[in-house]
Structure 1
Amino acid sequence: MKRIYVLDTNVLLQDPRAIFSFDEHEVVIPAVVLEEVDSKKRNMDEVGHNARETSRIIDRFRQIGELYKGVSLPNGGTFRIELNHRSFSKLEEIFLERTNDNRILAVALNLHLEVKKLNRNQEVVLVSKDILMRVKADALGLAAEDFLNERAVKEDSIYEGFQEWDVSAEDLNKFYQEGKLSIPDETLNRLYSNEFIVMKNKWNPSQSAIGILNTNRNVIEKCRFQADNAWGVTPRNAQQTMAIELLFRRDIQLVTMIGKAGTGKTLLALASGLMQVEDMGLYKKMLVARPVVPLGNDIGYLPGEKEEKLKPWMQPIYDNLEYLFDVKKAEDLDRILSGLGSIQVEALTYIRGRSIPEQLILIDEAQNLTKHEVKTILTRVGEGSKVILLGDPYQIDHPYLDEYNNGLVHVVEKFKNSKLSGHVKLHKGERSSLAQLSADLL
């Protein structure tokens, strides 16, 4: 059965190419959606970019034919701008206000009633990222769907970066003695590059070892870096040990780490970065950045120079640095950082157009980045640099992202079979017992 998909504005503001995602079916955009897209085109952010890109795509369709009549799509479907079916008579007793959302609902409902009246073998489906919009559509007897094409993963299947195996005592002893363990081809096909294996004696689970897949030799190897003290920080659990391995490996140029608040992502990354930059001299500089996305109401413009404006946004970074440098006053930390000169704290706003060679680039709160923004960051990386992306996919502050379509999860899924990247999901909170309990219960 062919369908008529009526797109809400938020679908296009998330993905301008959503028009091409509905195969042989008919895609309809109500005229009010164009008005909403037009109102966003001057925004100097990802939403504004997507609004402008949507406008360009629709303008190219205009060269093909008359949009109100419909034009053909490359995938066999059709696309049109709906100028009719705007009557509010069927909705005015249910939803009194003529808001833009209700105007979009009216178009979808009137199309549905027309198809039903003409007895056509079609279904009208409203596609929206807005949950309440879908609820209202359902209450009207309309089919409604979320736009899932941008999801990098299905629910609860985010790649964790490690597996747990039950092995024999002989294999475990062999791994400890030789530092490696051969694996059969059928097992190798179920592993990703640089994936960790937690091996446990199946008869005595207290005996265990951590290895990492070497795809060049098709073996599980011992971790190279058993860092007991990375700038004063010692890994406290198996996943933190895996993180240390990834953070210190020069051949792994992209590291992604996800985990709840308090699992030690930022502290481990900063500690290993300081050690590699200051003590080992492996990189010229450490660039630390995070997206500027407020939690709750925005506090507006901030006074002062760029550094003063950035300070509130970057405070979580400074909190960790104060712990690592063991200082109690912000002035002391500022003096240390200005003296070192090798640590640069920036907002991601300033990264476009740069080329960043021989630097350790640490991006915190990367779950608030879109797929496009992550691509912009990774394409800035010069020769000899390493990128570390940190975040918690379940703490999203961006209005158009969720735990399945944010930039961090996209990178985890797209790069999990690359020899240049490594990933680990941290499970256990180490900040405090209260922080761990809060992360679990709330």
Structure 2
Amino acid sequence: MAKKIFILDTNVLLHDHKCIYNLEENDIIIPIVVLEELDKFKKGNDLINFQAREFAREMDKIAGEKLFKDGVALGKGLGKLFVATGKPLPEEMKDSFSEHTADHRILAIALHIKSKFPRRQSILITKDINLRLKAKSLGLKSEDYENDKVKDIDILSHGVEIHENFDKSMIEALYTHPGIPEVEFPADEDLPPNQYFVLRNGNQSVLAFHDKVSGLIKRVEKHTAYGIEPRNAEQTFSLDALLNPDIKLVSLTGKAGTGKTLLALAAAMQQFQMYNQILLARPIVPLANRDLGFLPGDVNEKIGPYMQPLFDNLGVIKSRFKPTSKEVNRIDEMVKNEQLVITPLAYIRGRSLSDAYFIIDEAQNLTPHEVKTIITRAGEGTKLIFTGDVQQIDSPYLDMQSNGLAYMTDKMRGQELFAHINLVKGERSYLAELASNLL
């Protein structure tokens, strides 16, 4: 079977700068216009700028005269990499696409490759849905970059299992004993570490989790964290994971109003003595693709609107106490001394974080590679919390299967230092819950 030819769009390289090594034995074409596009993204502190610079460095390592003619071998078991220079728009394109845009120049190169190698399958790889449709209108095969897509779209619901008609004697044992052996727990497959359960039988019920270290199914007790009390089973599980020092990586998903960020911040404040610094960060994804530059003011004034939801959650915690209480004074003092820092995620990249409690909000807007970059910043004693709602992705090139939050949850499931909970019930207000379900 002949090797395929993949033509890559700019957004694929900005999504994963290592993508050229993930396409097996197939040959890869980088249109020259893509390199022009990447040049526009090289400057800046956002993670997308980091991707552009890293790919430029990767190209610099393998660049040579052969790149434009014979291609450069990418390694054992991999195909060759070519850079294709610009081609004139064919007549079939001029009839439908009059504008001389970067996308149309990429389509012209893809059509040229298809006609030059008629016996090989040429595929345009892009994360732009509209470009995929344009390609198909010209008879070009086009696909999304799926190397890091989550295959099981229900992975986020796996953190909590509900068992009805559960053995009553086991429910009673969880209240009277340290736990029940995992070998006695009825399960169709091996239980992953830190799996949470709601076990019911009639009017009897218990919340439990799988402690892999002890080999027991243990009861989960209800905790309060810095004035915040859990209101449902998923919130109880979340605080249990957030307050467990042995769990270094936590993923909290759920729709707006389920309390993800509030619980993470409350747990952080509850354990402030265990960490040198508490960091809250979120990616800045401007609405309507408008850059921060259009906002008035200095840097802090520009990023303020994007960070406000985190300050709002801090305000909710402070409202649980009297304004003159030691808890409120401690929060104010930690903010003043930069022990509690709320900042854009781009300002964190490149740092090595030791003994930190790091909360990454809106993580559904991160790519898998960006999530990996963040996690690899974690030094000794650091705990990472990723929160987000995969139903509210603002990035135009991510979806429920390709975003970094879902990808991390899928890959980390089964690790002893990881826990995931999907919060279902909104607790912000009845109105917010109704709107979330109906609108």
Please give the alpha-carbon distance, in whole angstroms, between the structure 2 residues aligned to 1:9 and 1:153: 24
Please give the alpha-carbon distance, in whole angstroms, between the structure 2 residues aligned to 1:40 and 1:334: 42
Check conservation: 1:15, 1:50, Cα contact below 8 A.
yes
Please give the alpha-carbon distance, in whole angstroms, between the structure 1 residues aligned to 2:437 and 2:395: 22
Please give the alpha-carbon distance, in whole angstroms, between the structure 1 residues aligned to 2:298 and 2:91: 54
Please give the alpha-carbon distance, in whole angstroms, between the structure 2 residues aligned to 1:52 and 1:403: 27
Equivalent positions of 1:42-81 (< 5 A) are 42-63=43-64, 65-74=66-75, 75-81=77-83
Equivalent positions of 1:149-160 (< 5 A) are 149-158=147-156, 160=158
Equivalent positions of 1:4-403 (< 5 A) are 4-63=5-64, 65-74=66-75, 75-83=77-85, 86-116=88-118, 120=119, 122-158=120-156, 160-166=158-164, 167-184=166-183, 187=187, 189-201=189-201, 204=202, 206-223=203-220, 225-227=221-223, 229-277=224-272, 281-296=273-288, 297-298=290-291, 300=293, 301-303=295-297, 306=300, 310-326=303-319, 337-340=331-334, 341=337, 342-403=339-400
Q: Quick one: percent identity of the two aligned structures?
A: 39
User: Secondary structure in 2 aligned to 1:425?
Assistant: strand
Please give the alpha-carbon distance, in whole angstroms, between the structure 2 residues aligned to 1:302 and 1:335: 32
Residue type of the partner of 2:180? L
Could you state the TM-score of these two structures normalised by the residue count of structure 2?
Answer: 0.87
**CA deviation map 1:151-185 (0-9, x unaligned):** 24443433531222242222222222224222338
> By how many angstroms is 1:375 displaced?
3.5
Check conservation: 1:87, 1:110, Cα contact below 8 A.
no
Please give the alpha-carbon distance, in whole angstroms, between the structure 1 residues aligned to 2:308 and 2:229: 23
Please give the alpha-carbon distance, in whole angstroms, between the structure 2 residues aligned to 1:352 and 1:29: 28
Please give the alpha-carbon distance, in whole angstroms, between the structure 2 residues aligned to 1:327 and 1:336: 14
Check conservation: 2:363, 2:405, Cα contact below 8 A.
yes
Equivalent positions of 1:394-433 (< 5 A) are 394-433=391-430
Please give the alpha-carbon distance, in whole angstroms, between the structure 2 residues aligned to 1:38 and 1:92: 27
Matched length: 429
Could you state the TM-score of these two structures normalised by the residue count of structure 1?
Answer: 0.86
User: Secondary structure in 1 aligned to 2:156?
Assistant: coil
> By how many angstroms is 1:298 displaced?
4.6
Residue type of the partner of 2:101? T
Structure 1 stretches of 4+ with a deviation exceeding 6 A read: 332-336
Q: Do the aligned partners of residues 381 and 190 (structure 1) sit closer, same or farther apart at CA in structure 2, a change above 3 Å counting?
A: same
Residue type of the partner of 1:363? I
Residue type of the partner of 2:179? K
Check conservation: 2:15, 2:367, Cα contact below 8 A.
no
Unaligned runs of 5+ in 1: none
Unaligned runs of 5+ in 2: none
**What is the Cα-based RMSD across aligned positions, in Å?**
3.1
Q: Do the aligned partners of residues 242 and 191 (structure 1) sit closer, same or farther apart at CA in structure 2, a change above 3 Å counting?
A: same
Please give the alpha-carbon distance, in whole angstroms, between the structure 1 residues aligned to 2:101 and 2:240: 54
Please give the alpha-carbon distance, in whole angstroms, between the structure 2 residues aligned to 1:19 and 1:305: 36
Which residue number corresponds to residue 434 of structure 1?
431
> By how many angstroms is 1:347 displaced?
2.8
Check conservation: 1:5, 1:126, Cα contact below 8 A.
yes
Which stretch of the first structure deviates more once superposed, 339-348 or 162-171? 339-348
**CA deviation map 1:330-370 (0-9, x unaligned):** 9x999874345553323333324444443322222222233
Residue type of the partner of 1:160? H
